[in-house]
Structure 1
Amino acid sequence: MNTTHQKEIAWINSLKGVCILLVVLYHVVLPGYAETLSQLAAGFLPGKLWLAFNNTLSPLRMPAFFFVSGLLATNGIIHRPWKQVFTSRVTNLFYLYFLWGVIQWLMIRGVSNEVMGEQLSRNINAAWAATPLESVKLMLLAMSSSWYLYALGLFFVFAKLFRHQRFAMMTIAILLNYAAVTKIIPGWGPESVAQYLIFFLLGTFYSGTMLRWSEWRRSNLLPWAALAALALIHAKLGLSHSLFLCAIAILISVAACRVLNRWFTLDWLNWLGRNTLQIYVLHRIFIEFFGMWAILFAERHHLFASKAFSMLWATGFPVAMVVLCAGCSVGVWSLLNRGIGKNLFIYPRLLRARADI
């Protein structure tokens, strides 16, 4: 592969790398970190800034992830037959989703809760379900920490089945997006799936247009102005995370990642972008362990009453936890991803097929 082409596709891995770090940060900040702010003797402003930062980036985090996923799935959806893609693109995703849903439940509910005596949140989540049956039911509703994998499988099937009815698909996806952002759809899992389908379809069928609009050209002023106007109208109507604002965030992030890869060597970020799966499925477990331990330790030793510690916590805890949990995820993956352990990260049939090549 020539150097020019490598640089052209490097932005994809850079954007995926940024998105996975933002996903980890989101789970670090909410709910554990956010619930400690009321106990701090100092550091309220840094704490509020972290919460605001997390909220401000919500139009980018998952929309960009699904846009890139749709872009990478284009060939499989449009050109390749079902026989060639069903196992790798659908079965594999569902296999990983339910496998890691069970592992997360066992590690968080069965181990972390028993050791710590508490859990980070009382929110509805398959990882915190009281029973295995309840956990599976919540996974079927996409109310699991790994719901992104489930959604990808569903989106791929939907897009491939109706690839010749693009207008109808886009109409349905837009209606689902509005139903999600206006809270018509109950439950954060189904709501998330409904909200982000549109961005997967944009990546699959309209990535060429989106990539052209992401370039700094005078001819792009009109579509940018139209998107900005629509985003502003939606914000005035109370739809702050509208699909138009998300589209703008995607365009800016694509443009930024392209520029950064031309100016800098982002090997570490691009490596993360190529290895998002292991971080995605493992980080929630480490957040539960390390986050709960840190909070309980600070509470038992009355550290939040110290202004110095409180300021350090408010300022540095999110960054430290993101680095720790992402690093531990990569480390554990490197240990497990060998021999029989490879079955934890890929559907066994695909693993055998690779071995036969």
Structure 2
Amino acid sequence: MENQTKTNIDWIDTAKGVCILLVVLHHVIITSYALPGVELNSSAAMFEHFHHLVSIYLAPLRMPLFFMISGFLVHRAVTQYRWSDVAQKRIYNLAYLFVLWGALQWLGVTLVNWIGGSEKQLTEVTNALYSSNPAEFIALTLTGSSSLWYLYALPWYFIICKLLSSRWPLAILVLLTGHFIGQTFVHDWPTKSIIANGVFYGLGCFYGRHLFSLLSRISLRSIGLLAVFGLASLSLKLLHWEHFLFTSLLLVGVCVMGFAFTQSIADFKMLRWMGKNTLQIYVLHRIFIEMAGVWLAPALIKAGVFDNSAAVTGWYALYPTVATLGVTALSLFVWRLTHPGPGVFLYTAPDFHVRAARLSALVLKR
């Protein structure tokens, strides 16, 4: 029984490791992949198109699986513990990290662009990361319009689930309604994603234990459930109803089955370790990707590296994978350097209640 439990935990860590790599890959592709002013040959264009398709078609898996696992991991906090026991870790800590790293990322990207002498890489979406002044940064941060929107969404999902924990079907209904509202009526990023992904967190929280247990084994029941998700997804597409709920559940289900099976025959220690340290990668990686886009690519273009057609093809074929692995490794390296001692407060909020209690104890002893 203990070995089975450990295997379940291990595949979850492996899945989280894969998810964070997919998040980094997505940000690499949309941020620092393109080479402005460089003409693409047919091979380079093919690789560029391929990587953009990968980013698009993995969207229904990337964050839904992350949120479902996050919900699964807070089940006891939602259903068994008091608010006072969980508020520090599940609400205050996440809000603290969202604000702290939102500011650090904004300052970092501003510095990177200032040193590089380039304009900020503004995109079609509104992102606090590219704010032009403090007032704009604060306004966008308060609404969750940030590259760290995952940290913004988690406390809200937790609060909803905790408030309705004794009537969990109602919590699922509320989050499911939000999903369809977000998909149908909301078009702004990341508001659309924040509203739409809550249902996966709720399913993970209240039904994840049963769902993951079923899908972690290849059986007629698990295959039948995947078939139901697949048919539901196909039906919505035929009705031209662009909701990714059942597509996400299908992809999540296939991946859970794949991760659990793979973990039973092989142990991917590095992926599991990354899965246990996703926060550090998540908050750090974007700054390094921006550095690559503002410093590395322009420097290579200026040096004439891409005057060679083979170099252009090589960049579009290999850069997303190499950059994803490199940025992830660099993020973990910086974390290892910065987290000891006072640096721990870069990755976890100070527990003022504990500190106050310790201070009171010292005062009383004297």
TM-score bracket for this pair, using the shorter chain length? over 0.9
Instruction: Return 59-68 or 303-312, whichever deviates more.
Output: 303-312
The Cα of 1:190 is off from its aligned counterpart by 1.4
SS of 1:124's equivalent in the other structure is coil
* 2:290 pairs with one of 288, 291, 299: 288
Please list every run of 5 or more consecutive structure 1 residues that lacks an aligned counterpart in the other structure. none
Q: CA deviation at 1:142?
A: 1.2
Task: Give the SS at the match of 1:142.
Answer: coil
Counterpart residue number, 2:7: 7
SS at match of 2:32: helix
> Is the 8 Å Cα contact of residues 140 and 146 (structure 2) preserved in structure 1?
yes
1:102 aligned partner, one-letter code: A
Residue identity matched to 1:28: V
Amino acid at match of 2:82: P
The residue type paired with residue 62 of structure 2 is: R
Look up the equivalent residue of 1:250 and give its one-letter code: V
Q: Which moved more, 1:172-181 or 1:58-67?
A: 172-181
Partner of 2:208: 207
**CA deviation after TM superposition for structure 1 residue 299, in Å:** 2.9
Distance across 2 between alignment mates of 1:264 and 1:350:
42
Report the count of equivalent residues.
353
What's the counterpart of residue 172 of structure 1?
Answer: 174
CA distance in 2, matches of 1:36, 1:156: 42
Q: Which amino acid aligns with 2:220?
A: R
Give yes or no for contact 1:176–1:195 (8 Å, CA) kept in 2.
Answer: yes
- How many angstroms apart in 2 are the aligned matches of 1:268 and 1:239? 40
TM-score by length of 2: 0.91
Alpha-carbon separation, structure 1, partners of 2:229 and 2:37: 36
Deviation at 1:181, TM superposition (A): 2.2
Identify which of 300, 303, 307 aligns with 2:302: 300
Which stretches of structure 1, 4 residues or more, deviate above 4 A after TM superposition?
Answer: 34-38, 350-353
**What is the SS of the residue equivalent to 1:118?**
coil
Deviation at 1:232, TM superposition (A): 0.4
After superposition, what is the alpha-carbon deviation per residue over 1:198-245, rounded to whole angstroms, capped at 9, x for unaligned? Answer: 000000001133224413111334432221111001222444551001
The alignment status of 1:125 with 2:134, answered yes or no, reads no
Give the superposed CA RMSD.
2.1
Counterpart position of 1:17:
17
Within 5 Å, which residues of 2 pair with 1:36-75?
Answer: 36=36, 39-41=39-41, 42-75=43-76
Question: Once structures 1 and 2 are overlaid, which stretch shifts more, 262-271 or 288-297?
Answer: 288-297
Q: Which has the larger radius of gyration?
A: 2
Q: How far does residue 263 in structure 1 lie from its aligned partner after superposition?
A: 1.1
Q: What SS does the corresponding residue of 1:164 show, helix, strand or coil? A: helix
What are the residue-to-residue correspondences of 1:1-357 with 2, within 5 Å? Answer: 2-34=2-34, 36=36, 39-41=39-41, 42-109=43-110, 111-116=111-116, 117-122=118-123, 123-182=125-184, 184-214=185-215, 215-239=217-241, 242-349=244-351
Superposed CA deviations along residues 91-128 of structure 1, whole A, max 9, x for unmatched, are 0000000000000011002x111012233333421010
| CA deviation map 1:32-72 (0-9, x unaligned) | 31565973234111111111111111111000000000000
2-side partners of 1:334 and 1:89: how far apart?
24
Change (3 A) 1:16 1:221: closer
Distance in 2, Cα, partners of 1:238 & 1:289 = 40
Amino acid at match of 2:336: S
TM-aligned CA distance change 1:3 to 1:224, over 3 Å: closer
